[in-house]
């Protein structure tokens, strides 16, 4: 097929005899559900064009045809491993629209669920980062240790993934009996396990020499490109929504945001790991401060409606950075418009800048260090 | 039952086999047997030991050990047996298969999982067989624009090169397929074939990822061949021979790794790179270039390349053992055979059990020294293979520029250090003529 039949972004032009165009994806072990069009000169990448959109599911449009409660199960689909965090801004926004006051215990349960989910997602991300660098042990260990926290989430919500546990007005169910003890034990063991990863992965001299000083994103560029989350904090910008715009009970907890100055692949891969340790810390604090009894859910009327023409924008710190949800209500039972603003897509914008001039061998480590989740970016 | 994939029934399969056998026996007994008898009628039969050889007598010879064991012995001394079975292909393929099993189980234990488990009742020991059957039964797909003859030939050439490498390895005194005087040079020559075969396979596939993988393999193998050859020069200097059997025999009192540890380390690292093992598996780097130069190979072509890879792994480990760890030398742990039982026979009450013809086999060919040598060799080789497999669970992959930097800057320098150590040892009179050996 010649270029004229293709849309301009997808045209594979042959610029030079030396330049070879590689289609990394969508059927490639190192791409995920997307395509990266890479032009290489020998071993160097001269141009890179990320091409997402292979798993677009129209979540935002679907939300316009369902009421505020039935929107919950499908809105968590973009990142099933991080489903509590994906639902978090939506639930906060709907509560704002409907004017609901959430019980104190429910807020703590939400924080615990959200931090557990952040760890579950990050472990999955870390497993794939390991296998992208050819480190098969680092694939198996996180994939196995995730089970600890998945079991906890299963105890809370009944489902191993896609919990649909957050509802406007609180959480769906109260914590099971004896949960605090089990949770503390599992989280302590989990923390001990992930500290061991440093010995095999983060302190590994080959890994350090491979990822340090590759794909460097300076502080100014990070702010200019609008990246979020771990990518932003790896470039030396201390911006964690749990600290900057605390939602629910995060202001009562002692949250430490991890910042590194280097802005290279190594820093970007280490920040999520440090975040997991911080998450364990937050879970322990929340378990301590949580009211031991009380309601976890405000009963809503069937088919709740927003009050007149109204809009609300809420955002939370998800596993991949800032995750915002803009809900426009026109007083009907379903939202007039719902817009998810996800961290994955913002981080992907940095990819062409980071990969230009890099070696082909650095492509997987730089690409996956951006904490990018293809399904979330396509929504 | 669907038309595309009819249900496979084991009973039907056995039935069809039995019906084939029945037809064969029927046709043979009705037509073949009378023809043989009629032919025998016209042929004058020889007289052996004063007896006329009848067809019946010829059949009884098969059960007589005094007649069959010498045949077995002479067969074991033929080149065909050596190539196909013992020091050659069969032995190496068996060790390679064991290596694959051990690799999978060991890596699984390292990664806190179970590994192959269900195939073959015990710990998934038949998993490799299952994988092989799967690969054989798969369709071989050739890319439309591939250079077909070369693409077909490359996996076969790869296995052939690996088997040629295996043929040069002495396993026990006198047990080597090709006892070449210039054995080590022949090894270098065979190693030089692998990059050619790789680039042929990669280029003929006419696809981008295999091409990049092939170029990477070429870089890697060529730049690591020089430190590989240089690191082995030390051993040649202290032994004064290129014959691998003589090099192994020269280490009867101590292995060369005690005197040339630098050379051994350099050889081990270059070995990892030549074998494309993690951390040097750039030509097959999955997340960058799919499966590298193996991307377009399918079915048994891929299986052949894997077979060649593991044969090569065995051969390199064996070469390390022969050059640095003393080959078959080691303490004699296999006891002497009870020869009086063999010669006199074993008295079981009124009966004396005696197998005639066993004595020459046990004194000339399968001696306790030979079994002990093979045992020592296999133990050492398995140890070296263990250390080759271990980095796979510990290290990530390195990058091509780091690899070339390591090969050209560091390993060549270390190899020269090793040569100077060997020179110093020879000139100081510690080793060589007048020295310890």
A39 & A73 share domain: no
pLDDT digits (tens, 9 = 90+) for B59-91: 777 777 777 887 888 888 888 888 888 888 888
Gap from A198 CA to chain B (nearest CA, Å): 12
pLDDT digits (tens, 9 = 90+) for B313-323: 999 999 999 98
Angle at the Cα of B299 from the Cα atoms of B294 and B302, rounded to 5 degrees: 30
The DSSP secondary-structure symbol of B30 reads I
Tell me the Ramachandran region of residue B112: left when phi exceeds 0, alpha when psi lies from -120 to 50, beta otherwise.
Answer: left
Contacts of B281 in chain A (CB under 8 A): 134
Cβ–Cβ of A135/B396 closer than 8 Å?
yes
Q: Does A42 touch chain B (CB under 8 A)?
A: no
Interface test with A, best of B105, B210, B288 (most A CBs within 10 A): B288
Q: Which residues of chain A have pLDDT under 50?
A: 1
Structural domain including A162 reads 59-378
Contacts of B109 in chain A (CB under 8 A): none
Least Cα distance to B280 among B289, B271, B288 occurs for B271
Least Cα distance to B377 among B331, B318, B324, B336 occurs for B318
Cβ-Cβ pairs closer than 8 A, A with B, add up to: 84
Cβ–Cβ of B290/A29 closer than 8 Å?
yes
Cβ–Cβ of B288/A138 closer than 8 Å?
no
A334 & A351 share domain: yes
Res. B437 pLDDT band, cuts 50 70 90 = low
pLDDT at position B316 is 92
Tokens encoding B390: 């271990």
A28 & A174 share domain: no
Q: Does A304 touch chain B (CB under 8 A)?
A: no
> Hey, how many other C-beta atoms are within 10 angstroms of the C-beta on A240?
24
A13 & A92 share domain: no
Residue B10 scores a pLDDT above 50: yes
> Contact at 8 Å (CB) between B273 and B224?
yes
Contacts of A213 in chain B (CB under 8 A): none
**Residue B304 CB partners (closer than 8 Å, separation 6+):** B155, B156, B158, B159
The minimal CB distance from A134 to the residues B107, B285, B290 is found for: B285
Residue B1 scores a pLDDT above 50: no
Tokens encoding A361: 């061998």
Report how many domains make up chain A: 2
A68 & A86 share domain: yes
Contacts of A358 in chain B (CB under 8 A): none
Mean pLDDT, rounded, for B397-404: 84
Average pLDDT value for chain B = 84
A92 & A17 share domain: no
A143 & A245 share domain: yes
pLDDT at position A1 is 43
> Contact at 8 Å (CB) between A30 and B288?
yes
Residue of A nearest to B390 (CA): A137
pTM: 0.83
Least Cα distance to A133 among A44, A206, A81, A231 occurs for A206
> Contact at 8 Å (CB) between B260 and B324?
yes
pLDDT at position B26 is 93
Coil/strand/helix, residue B143:
coil
Q: Does A357 touch chain B (CB under 8 A)?
A: no
Gap from B382 CA to chain A (nearest CA, Å): 22
pLDDT digits (tens, 9 = 90+) for B22-58: 999 999 989 988 888 888 778 777 777 777 777 777 7
Gap from B159 CA to chain A (nearest CA, Å): 26
Contacts of A130 in chain B (CB under 8 A): 396
Cβ–Cβ of B111/A141 closer than 8 Å?
yes
Gap from A47 CA to chain B (nearest CA, Å): 16
Q: DSSP alpha helices (H): ranges in A158-253?
A: 179-197, 205-211, 219-225, 229-234, 241-244
Residue with structure tokens 């007649």? B67
Gap from B396 CA to chain A (nearest CA, Å): 4
**Residue B105 CB partners (closer than 8 Å, separation 6+):** B115, B116, B123, B124
Tokens encoding B289: 């270039």
A189 & A109 share domain: yes
Gap from B290 CA to chain A (nearest CA, Å): 6
The minimal CB distance from A134 to the residues B111, B113, B397 is found for: B397
Mean pLDDT, rounded, for B376-385: 90
Integer Cα distance of A114 and A279 in angstroms: 9
> Contact at 8 Å (CB) between A344 and A113?
no
The minimal CB distance from A359 to the residues B281, B287, B401 is found for: B401
Q: DSSP alpha helices (H): ranges in A235-357?
A: 241-244, 265-289, 343-348, 351-355
A374 & A290 share domain: yes
Cβ–Cβ of A137/B402 closer than 8 Å?
no
CATH of the domain at A193: 1.10.645.10
Mean pLDDT, rounded, for B250-260: 83
Contacts of A29 in chain B (CB under 8 A): 286-287, 290
The minimal CB distance from A200 to the residues B208, B288, B394 is found for: B394
Residue B110 scores a pLDDT above 90: no
Cβ–Cβ of A359/B399 closer than 8 Å?
yes
A277 & A245 share domain: yes
Cβ–Cβ of B290/A209 closer than 8 Å?
no
Integer Cα distance of B252 and B410 in angstroms: 32
Between A126 and B326, the more confident residue is A126
pLDDT at position B355 is 74
């Amino acid at each position: 097929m010649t270029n004229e039949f293709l849309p301009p972004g997808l045209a594979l032009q042959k610029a030079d005899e030396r330049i070879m165009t590689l289609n990394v994806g969508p059927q490639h072990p190192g791409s995920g559900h997307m395509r990266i069009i890479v032009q290489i000169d020998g071993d160097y990448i001269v141009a890179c064009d990320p091409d997402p959109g292979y798993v677009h599911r129209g979540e935002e449009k679907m939300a316009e045809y369902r009421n505020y409660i039935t929107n919950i199960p499908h809105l968590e689909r973009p990142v099933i491993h991080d489903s509590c965090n994906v639902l978090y801004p939506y639930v906060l926004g709907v509560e704002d629209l409907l004017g609901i006051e959430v019980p104190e215990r429910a807020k703590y349960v939400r924080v615990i669920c959200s931090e557990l989910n952040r760890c579950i997602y990050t472990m999955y991300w870390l497993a794939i980062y390991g296998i992208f660098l050819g480190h098969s042990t680092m694939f198996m260990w996180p994939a196995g240790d995730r089970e600890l926290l998945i079991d906890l989430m299963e105890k809370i919500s009944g489902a191993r993934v896609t919990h649909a546990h957050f509802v406007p007005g609180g959480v769906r169910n109260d914590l099971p009996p004896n949960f605090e003890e089990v949770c503390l034990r599992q989280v302590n063991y989990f923390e001990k396990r992930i500290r061991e990863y440093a010995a095999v992965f983060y302190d590994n001299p080959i890994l350090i020499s491979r990822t340090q000083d590759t794909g460097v994103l300076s502080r100014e560029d990070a702010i200019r490109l609008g990246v979020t989350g771990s990518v932003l904090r790896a470039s030396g910008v201390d911006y964690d929504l749990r600290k900057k715009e605390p939602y629910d009970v995060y202001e009562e907890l002692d949250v430490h945001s991890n910042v590194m100055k280097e802005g290279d692949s190594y820093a970007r891969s280490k920040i999520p790991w440090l975040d997991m340790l911080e998450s364990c810390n937050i879970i322990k604090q929340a378990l301590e401060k949580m009211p031991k009894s009380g309601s976890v859910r405000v009963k809503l009327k069937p088919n709740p409606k927003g009050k007149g023409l109204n809009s609300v924008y809420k955002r939370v710190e998800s596993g991949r950075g800032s995750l915002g949800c803009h809900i426009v209500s026109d007083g009907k039972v379903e939202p007039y418009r719902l817009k998810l603003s996800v961290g994955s897509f913002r981080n992907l914008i940095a990819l062409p800048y980071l990969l230009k001039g890099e070696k082909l061998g650095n492509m997987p480590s730089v690409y996956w260090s951006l904490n990018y989740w293809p399904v979330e970016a396509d929504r | 039952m669907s038309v595309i994939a009819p249900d496979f029934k084991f009973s039907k399969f056995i039935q069809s086999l039995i019906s084939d056998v029945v037809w064969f026996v029927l046709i043979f007994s009705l037509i073949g047997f009378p023809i043989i008898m009629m032919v025998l009628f016209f042929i004058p039969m020889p007289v052996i030991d004063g007896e006329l050889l009848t067809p019946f007598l010829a059949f009884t010879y098969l059960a007589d050990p005094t007649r069959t064991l010498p045949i077995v012995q002479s067969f074991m001394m033929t080149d065909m047996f050596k190539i196909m079975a013992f020091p050659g292909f069969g032995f190496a393929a068996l060790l390679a298969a064991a290596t694959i099993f051990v690799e999978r189980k060991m890596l699984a234990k390292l990664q806190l999982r179970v590994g192959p488990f269900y195939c073959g009742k015990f710990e998934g020991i038949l998993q490799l067989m299952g994988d092989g059957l799967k690969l054989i039964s798969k369709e071989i797909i050739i890319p439309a624009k591939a250079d077909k003859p070369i693409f077909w030939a490359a996996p076969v050439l790869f296995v052939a090169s690996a088997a040629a490498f295996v043929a040069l390895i002495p396993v026990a005194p006198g047990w080597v397929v090709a006892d070449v005087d210039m054995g080590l040079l022949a090894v270098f020559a065979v190693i030089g074939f692998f990059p050619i075969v790789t680039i042929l396979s990669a280029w003929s596939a006419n696809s981008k990822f295999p091409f990049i993988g092939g170029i990477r393999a070429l870089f890697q193998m060529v730049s690591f061949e020089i430190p590989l050859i240089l690191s082995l020069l030390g051993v040649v200097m202290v032994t004064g021979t290129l014959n691998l059997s003589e090099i192994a025999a020269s280490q009867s009192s101590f292995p060369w790794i005690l005197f040339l540890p630098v050379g051994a380390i350099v050889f081990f690292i270059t070995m990892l790179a030549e074998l494309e093992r993690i951390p040097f598996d750039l030509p097959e780097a999955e997340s960058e270039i799919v499966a590298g130069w193996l991307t377009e190979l399918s079915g048994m072509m891929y299986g052949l390349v894997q077979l060649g890879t593991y044969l090569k792994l065995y051969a390199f480990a064996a070469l390390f053992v022969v050059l640095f760890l003393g080959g078959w030398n080691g303490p004699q742990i296999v006891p002497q055979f009870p020869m009086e039982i063999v010669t006199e026979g074993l008295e079981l009450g009124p009966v004396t059990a005696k197998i005639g013809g066993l004595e020459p086999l046990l004194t000339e060919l399968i001696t306790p020294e030979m079994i002990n040598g093979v045992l020592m060799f296999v133990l050492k080789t398995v140890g070296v293979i263990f250390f080759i497999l271990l980095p796979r669970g510990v290290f990530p992959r390195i990058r091509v520029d780091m690899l070339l930097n390591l090969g050209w800057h560091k390993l060549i320098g270390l190899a020269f250090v090793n040569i100077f150590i060997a020179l110093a040892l020879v000139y100081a009179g510690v080793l060589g003529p007048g020295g310890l050996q």
